């Protein structure tokens, strides 16, 4: 028995393309190998008979049999990671190769000439997109009717700043003979040519629009719950037909060096001794459990090479100190729920989060 190496497929050869409902193509610069699957539900049926005796001299016999019938498919699921790649266009627009993913996470609309500054939406149903995960041979997979459910940012001073994306789709199919869209029609073709990666850079944690502390590491996760809508049709194996949006959540944590307060400064703590003051502000907020805005400036604040995550009205869940080496404090936070009922949230304390490419 022999194997033909021409029929082996390797994850590193995969390419990912995104096709939107407004008929535009984007290439997704995935870091690592994407994961995807679709499971099915089944219904067991068991049939049993009473003991029967075929003749006066035989032992009683009974039969029992069970079968499983496939009834419906769960939503397909997928996940992959991208690096954070901010980009400034010739018209001073702030964009990135992954901008289209942010827009679909929050229910917005992306155009190639818009700046990337997204915030949570209260739309009940988000626009969907298709994902093509294919090899150069044209063989691959198509995820139809996708929505994004999670974007998790990971930041460290010794690694690339990345975003782990996950989502759901209505259906997963194999494709044969797929022809990749020409590079000239990729909406993010110019953004993919830039080499701006947020690596080995200090990020800044800002509180109350006043205090800045250099972050050692940080993670922020955004979740948008989507519930599949599935019809129950007798005699058919059903698939989800849509998704209904549920709660929106943002949470995360930041680790930073604890710097003692400079008591000799006549006008309060100096800029290099803010760790103690920030910690005090978090432990004893001046307006109840919700503090003033907090910001994470990923990669610093340099224009064209940084990203800002804003939580206008966060809830500080936990504060810990680690004195094992240099004193480090870590805070965990989550966003407050919005109280408005408009179609789009505006940037105020009823918004849960905003992500801006600077």
Locate 192 and state its tokens.
Answer: 């993919």
pLDDT of residue 28: 92
Compute mean pLDDT per 10 residues along the chain, 358 residues long, and list them. 53 84 89 86 74 69 72 88 85 81 80 66 80 90 94 87 94 92 87 80 77 84 89 76 86 78 46 54 54 82 81 79 73 70 42 78
3-state secondary structure of 22: coil
pLDDT of residue 171: 93
CA 285, chain centre distance (Å): 30
Measured distance CA(165)–CA(80) in Å, rounded = 5
Structure tokens at 336: 């407050």
Matching residue, tokens 């915030």 = 119
The per-residue pLDDT for 221 is: 94
| Residue 85 burial by Cβ neighbours in a 10 Å radius (0-12, 13-18, 19+) | buried
Residue boundaries of the structural domains of the chain = 9-41+71-357
In contact, 335 and 249? CB cutoff 8 Å: yes
| Residue 12 exposure: Cα atoms within 13 Å on the Cβ side | 0
CA 101 to each of CA 20, 226, 287: distance values in angstroms, whole numbers, following the listed order:
11, 16, 35
pLDDT computed for residue 319 by the predictor: 76
Asked whether the whole model's pTM tops 0.95, one would answer: no
* pLDDT value of position 153: 94
């Amino acid at each position: 028995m022999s194997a033909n190496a021409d029929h082996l497929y390797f994850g590193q050869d995969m390419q990912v393309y995104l096709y939107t409902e407004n008929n535009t193509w984007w290439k997704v610069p995935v870091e690592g190998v994407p994961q995807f699957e679709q499971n099915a539900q089944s219904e067991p049926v068991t049939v049993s008979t009473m003991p029967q005796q075929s003749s006066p001299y035989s032992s009683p016999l009974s039969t029992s049999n069970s079968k499983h019938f496939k009834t419906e498919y769960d939503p397909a699921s997928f996940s992959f990671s991208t690096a954070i790649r901010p980009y400034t266009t010739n018209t001073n627009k702030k964009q990135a190769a992954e901008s289209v993913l942010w827009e679909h996470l929050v229910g917005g609309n992306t155009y190639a000439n818009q700046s990337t500054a997204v915030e949570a939406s209260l739309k009940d149903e988000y626009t969907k997109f298709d994902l093509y995960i294919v090899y150069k041979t044209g063989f691959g997979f198509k995820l139809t009717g996708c929505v994004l459910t999670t974007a998790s940012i990971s930041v460290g001073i010794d690694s690339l700043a990345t975003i782990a994306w996950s989502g759901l789709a209505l259906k997963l199919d194999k494709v044969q003979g797929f022809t990749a869209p020409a590079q000239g029609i990729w909406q993010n073709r110019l953004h993919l040519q830039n080499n701006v990666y947020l690596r080995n850079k200090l990020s800044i944690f800002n509180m109350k629009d006043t205090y800045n502390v250099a972050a050692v590491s940080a993670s922020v996760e955004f979740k948008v719950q989507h519930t599949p809508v599935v019809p129950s049709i007798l005699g058919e194996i059903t698939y989800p037909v849509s998704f209904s949006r549920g709660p929106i959540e943002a949470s995360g944590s930041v680790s930073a060096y604890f710097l003692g307060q400079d008591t000799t400064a006549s006008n309060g703590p100096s800029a290099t001794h803010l760790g103690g003051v920030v910690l005090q502000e978090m432990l004893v907020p001046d307006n109840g459990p919700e503090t003033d805005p907090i910001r994470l400036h990923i990669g610093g604040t340099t224009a064209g090479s940084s990203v800002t995550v804003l939580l206008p009205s966060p809830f500080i869940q936990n504060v810990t100190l680690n004195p094992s080496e240099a004193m480090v404090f870590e805070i965990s936070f989550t966003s407050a729920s919005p109280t408005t009922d408009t179609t789009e949230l505006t940037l105020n304390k009823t918004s849960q989060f905003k992500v801006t490419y600077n």
